[in-house]
Amino acid sequence: MHAGRIRVLIVDDSALVRKVVTESLKPFHDIEVVGTAMDPYIARDKIRDLKPDVLTLDIEMPRMDGLTFLKLLMRHHPMPVIVMSSLTPAGSALAMEALESGAVEVLCKPGSTYSAHEDGARLAASIRAAAASRVARPAQDRGTPLPDAPKPPPPTPRLAATPNSCSRFHPRQLILLGASTGGTEALRVVLGAMSADVPGICIVQHIPSGFSAALADRLNRLSAMEVREARDGDVVRPGMALLAPGGLHMILQWQTPHYVVQLNQGPPVHHQRPAVDVLFESAVRAGGAAHTAAALLTGMGADGAAGLLKLRQHGAHTIAQNEETSVVFGMPKEAIRLGAACDVLALEDIGPRLAQLSYARRAERRTG
């Protein structure tokens, strides 16, 4: 955890946005806005002089766009960056590229509906998570940049699961995933390690409303199975992953012969909507735990830990991501502390393990 006040630099070409963000963070005494910058060139100098712990970064700016600056920053001076983007299709696509390029989180850019109380609290929580994240830090006083980060693997060829292979899964078999800070890239790794021949997958990733569709589209391009944003009434079926929309809880109900997804705007849980606990606990109520493999990935806070414990107590095989590969070791750490995890695994091992568990249960069904 970060020691002392968290020093934040706000980078945005709008003077109004810089002021609104600064004012919204004043009630949080563990956070200090040490400066603002209207473009990346000014930001570069202020990073050097002010040594902020966290950067908030607009994507669309003059002289140099935020995405180009982010990529240069991550190459030469890696640090936690929160991207603030507009809720447009183009803005959402750029935000997904920013997460791929090293940003730890994406938030909605302040607009006419920005609430200094609610949105300021969310930004403060994101800043705390960013400050606690495992972002490669520059070597102090060495004067030489760190090497480039490894490139993500190429997209997995999409191979449709055959009806015969999928039908061998028990109709109640599920894979459940929960993630927060750092989760967009963790989900890419987990889903990318699995074929399309898997049980139905349901995912909760803490993400603002408006960005989840772009995330689902990106994961769909990079995964063998179909990935899309969930819609109310969707049937959970093998070979498909459903991502909870930002701003809506996702609940599973068993309606013979399959699970059906329900979406609602119930109260936030752990200050989150969608919440991982809501999904996990609904699977227990639907009678699916004994046929479920679930994983809790990187993220700040405790969301998902109690739900993972309930799943394990009702027969699910549960996994928590280990500290070494978590961007933020909050949610998995809490799950491990509660005894909720059957396995504690590195990120790259979680996808293969989930697939292995699913095939093993399919084999049990075939021989039982």
| Residue numbers annotated as active site | 180, 206, 303
Say if CB 260 and CB 234 are below 8 A apart: yes
Helices (H), 210-346: 212-222, 276-285, 305-313, 331-338
Are the C-beta atoms of 147 and 138 separated by less than 8 Å? no
CA distance 131 to 125: 10
Query: How far is it, in rounded angstroms, from Cα 245 to Cα 295?
Result: 19
- Bridge partner residues of 240 (DSSP): 226
Distance CA 132, CA 128 (A): 6
Task: Please name the amino acid found at residue 345.
Answer: L
Sign of dihedral through CA atoms 62, 66, 68, 74?
positive
Measured in residues, the chain has a length of 368
